[in-house]
Structure 1
Amino acid sequence: MNMDLLSLLLLAVLLLSVVHGSVLGTKRMAAGLGSMVGRLLLRVLSILAALLLAGWVSPYARDWADRTLLDMPAGELPKWKGIGYSLLGFVSEFSLLRVVLLFALIYPVCLAALALLGRWRTPTEEPPKRKGKRRSGGTFMDRVGGAGLGLVAGVWRSLLLLALLFVIVSLLPKSPVSPYTEASPVYRAVSQHVFEPAAGDWISGKLPVLTASAAEELDGILQRKYEAIDRNIPADIAQAAVRIAGTGNEKEKAQKLYDWVGSRIRYDYDKVGAYENEGVWHEQTPRDTYDTRRGVCIDYARLYAVMARSSGLQVRVVTGLGSDGRGGYGSHAWNEVYLPDEQRWIELDPTWASGGDWFDRENFADTHIKQSVL
């Protein structure tokens, strides 16, 4: 069975943690685990304190930057002073950059202060140290207990790694690690059931949609070429779709294809930029999307439709408006699949699958406005 790189890495973290715990034994591993939790708690409290202080100081920092820029001397300035005033201009105009810089300055101070506060306590007499040879491993049960605690530590480390990757994928979808991360079923499961519900609107604020100017292009694709191109299903794509969908009822097959398309295809921000900045639309077929593993919403939807039809599902492509997570809407495309057992059409959005579960979602209509169906 093929396993993705991230799953292999997480498995290695778990195995190494178990072996390490077994070597240390129950008592020493418990002490190490407690120390690890304590350090993590210290950092979390420091981050929260630094964020609160950065938010409080931010308006004052902006006012100071504005006053300094107003007092900037006339004439040519030394290079280092010019760079300094340019940086102040960014600090004045961009609130996010200002908060990030303040956080970077305040966090080490908070961390040091809380660490000193934690060490300040009434001194107590330390118990005398036992003499003699120290056991390194202990009994079999001691090793088993240490291995169990090592597994707990490994799970914790794995969750921290997944949380870091979740932030990277959400903020930097074009980063080199994003496609490998999103291809992992472990990451998708943890993201959809843990991180995405916890993050709430933070993730929905980065929903990929096209600008309103792309609406005509989407409609043109469906009106001109959809029937001719997408009904001719390549044999290898059809075979892959049947294998991915497997056995089961229509909903189970639709879910498996949704997971596959949503995790294997990467959103093509370069294609969006070429259209918005240069007016150049790189039209592509489901064949192109399948081969390159890249596309925008209409490409996700068309590939899903081709693969779903190959698996015997009744599927439609829907175009309309999708929420951009910032109070506006942009041109978007998604799919509907008919479930004969339930006698209803369900809606699904494979483009947004990497950021949450958009398969037959109860509040789907809150973020999608249907305009045309084919």
Structure 2
Amino acid sequence: MLVLIFSYPLLRGFLFKFSSQDLKGDIDEVNRNISFIVSIFLGVYCGKRIFITHDYGIYKEIYNRIPTDILQYIESNSFIVYALIIPLMVLICYKIIKLVFELINYLTFYPILDSIERYLSSKNSLFKRITGLFFGVPKAICYILIVTFVLNVVSMFSTNGRLNKYLENSKIYSRICKEVVIPVTNSNIARQLPDIINNSFKIVVRENDSKETSPGKAISKGRTIVYYNGVTLDQGVKSNSQVDKLARSVVQEDGNTKIKARALYNWVGSNISYDHDKANKVLNNDFDVESGAISAFNSRKGICFDYSCLYVAMCRANGIKVRLITGEGFNGVSWVSHAWNQVYIPEEDKWINVDTTFYKGGNYFNSKRFELDHKGAQIAGEW
């Protein structure tokens, strides 16, 4: 579909040849498309920065100047950011950008096109067709960017597994998302997210000969036992003296639970690197790999399950109540299997979300962005 969309303006330009009048209409359409694309990127980017992250600079200042009553309403109805605020910002940007393009066209491009048509009047038909094809390229690029962005937004909110599978397997769609959509609508760092999670988390249920169970830890159910990337949950979160010693040295003894949990999040996120080779092995059902907290700590690398297990082990060493969560994460292209954590903050009497795997993609410690790119949360274990 994307190939056909890209090819259509090129084929049309070749068949109908170069025409100044037609091309002016095409340029006006391209300008509208470009204005639409740029306004979407600006609207989404600024909307996220102001109402989702607002962690620094002018975005933080704008957020702090919004009346408290309005902020409380937006925070309790987070979908309104995408349903109302961002579309309004997109519309305003669109009107301004389109006006600028129209002024530039009347002063520069339109007179140039008239001159080109006078020049081509003496040329043969094939030359005019090639020229028409050449001038169709900007329009083709605009078409494919618009369709890709629409598919990206639809996939974020859609629960259709078949659509998600199609998008995940489309190399063209994935490439455009990674190179254009994700960096512009999020940040340069967010470009790493598609490589951070890529279906690298597998759960396998096998028959268990033993009648033992582990109540409250969800690793066994009756006569079955659940394996996460080839190990049980107890094996995954198992710690040792080295992990415990470092975990206690990372946190401040006099800090509250949230400060301690944040310090552990920072350490795991900044010191553990994503293991792409291991992710590929797990994708191909090769579980002959070391998994869990100790493995990630010793090798300083792992995949989402290892990140989450290490965070569990380090929280337990500091007496912090913690959960390991399984579900799906949106990697900017499609929804894939993922694992993260939740931490209990007794001072606030609530559980907060923590994703150390996404650390390099921005703030994923008790952040509102969790609602946008995490779903299907299930408690695998609690300690």
TM-score, normalised by the number of residues in structure 2: 0.44
TM-score, normalised by the number of residues in structure 1: 0.45
